[in-house]
Amino acid sequence: MYSLSFFKNFGSNTFYEIKEEPINNLLKIAKKMNIVTKLVENQPIIYHFNKISFVQKMNTKVLTDVEKNEIEIKSLMNKITNESYDEISKTIIGLMEPCMFSTIFEISYKNKFFSGIYSKLTMKLCENVEYKEFIFKKLEVITTLFDDIQYLEDEYANNKKLDDREAISCFYTNLYIHGLIDKFSFESFNYYIISKIEYFMDIENKKNEVEELLNILYIILSLSSINIDKTLAEKISKSSNKTYKSISNKSIFKCMDIMDLK
């Protein structure tokens, strides 16, 4: 652990190396929060301490114009608000190139808390025909995120996949709200989720999967207010945790919440 007292123990002219593992962990956190950083994966940092200040010793890299533009886009996406949307979206359109599409898409769909503004930005960026084609190819495979849904012993891996599925479901819903996704495709996605719930609910040891899918269905319906058949939700809401093999009390209460949605 690196604390203030830890660093205060260094005398003048002392060198200290921060190893690769904490650097890589910081990069994972920064990526998840869409924070631009100068840290480099698998590259330790050597600090030189003295009584007044410390100097960071690290290799410098000359960035290409494309790399500079990509960094600028990441920074702009981190700053975008409803008020700055028009100006920032125009700047991003002027900077982006096909090699940056994946980066822009990942930032857009992985942050569910800013899904609304990122989906709005996506609509604007889709004025670029190449980016629009890229987006639709990505969204065509959205259901594959749910094809292999299963809970493992690795809690971190479970949470990461859960976050990804929730985030892209929010993003997909907001794209429907903004008109990029047609109603038929959106309804088909909802019924796909329902079919997965119906499949898992009567199989042993699938309570976590059912809870997650019901939560995603609730998020989608609460955002979009789309009308779908709630027969399954009603049936589960009136059941007990012994009626089906993988229905928990949490799932029953979530279905009650779904039934309360208008």
**Mean pLDDT, all residues of the chain:** 85
- Do 119 and 230 belong to one domain? no
User: pLDDT band at 53, cuts 50/70/90?
Assistant: very low
User: pLDDT band at 93, cuts 50/70/90?
Assistant: very high
Q: Is the pLDDT of residue 7 over 60?
A: no
Mean pLDDT of 22-31: 79
What is the pLDDT, as a whole number, of residue 46? 65
pLDDT in tens, 27-37: 788 777 767 67
- What is the rounded CA–CA span in Å between residue 85 and residue 160? 29
Q: State how many domains the chain has.
A: 3
Q: Which residues pair with 14 in a beta bridge?
A: 49
Q: Which domain holds residue 41?
A: 4-57
What is the pLDDT, as a whole number, of residue 69? 94
What is the pLDDT, as a whole number, of residue 51? 43
- Do 180 and 118 belong to one domain? no
Mean pLDDT of 185-205: 94
pLDDT in tens, 163-193: 888 999 999 999 999 999 999 999 999 999 9
- Do 37 and 146 belong to one domain? no
More confident residue, 41 or 129: 129
- What is the rounded CA–CA span in Å between residue 255 and residue 261? 10
pTM greater than 0.75: no
- What does the DSSP assignment read for the chain? ---HHHHHT--TTEEEEE-HHHHHHHHHHHHHTT------TT--EEEEE-SS-EEEE----PPPHHHHHHHHHHHHHHH--TTTHHHHHHHHHHH--GGGHHHHHHHHHH-GGGHHHHHHHHHHHTTSHHHHHHHHHHHHTTTHHHHT----S-HHHHHHHHHHHHHHHHHHHHHHHTTSS-HHHHHHHHHHHHHHHHHHTTSTT-HHHHHHHHHHHHHHHHHH------HHHHHHHTS-TTTSTT--HHHHHHHHHHHH--
Mean pLDDT of 117-141: 93
What is the pLDDT, as a whole number, of residue 183? 94
Burial label, 132 (beta-carbon count in 10 A; 0-12, 13-18, 19+):
middle
Residue indicated by tokens 């005398």: 11
- Do 117 and 186 belong to one domain? no
- Do 37 and 92 belong to one domain? no
Q: Is the pLDDT of residue 17 over 90?
A: no
- State which of 115, 134, 153 marks the end of a domain: 134
- Do 44 and 130 belong to one domain? no
- Do 99 and 117 belong to one domain? yes
More confident residue, 134 or 143: 134
User: pLDDT band at 197, cuts 50/70/90?
Assistant: very high
- Please state, for a pLDDT cut of 70, what percent of the chain lies above it: 85
**CB-CB contact of 20 with 43 (8 Å):** yes
User: pLDDT band at 54, cuts 50/70/90?
Assistant: very low
